[in-house]
Structure 1
């Protein structure tokens, strides 16, 4: 149970550009939210 508690207590990942919380997915290494990633393509 201690291992599970460790992972549950990790802080949420936030976008380095705007500070919005990023909903992480398995094997995701993104540091920007989808909105900020989209702005880079303008």
Structure 2
């Protein structure tokens, strides 16, 4: 039986920053793979 699209997206695991392991709060149209703190540290 196929899962409804709503249920599919609801059950996806949260995105995790590969640098520090912190959960990334996703936003619509966001393709970030690292958290904002790690991105800011790389810019310095």
- TM > 0.5: yes
Query: Structure 1 residue runs of 4+, over 6 Å off?
Result: none
Larger Rg: 2
Please report the TM-score for the alignment, with normalisation by the length of structure 1.
0.90
Q: Which runs of 5+ in 1 are unaligned?
A: none
Aligned length: 42
Stretches of structure 2 lacking an aligned partner (at least 5 in a row): none
The root-mean-square deviation of aligned C-alpha atoms, in Å, is: 1.3
SS in 2 for 1:16: coil
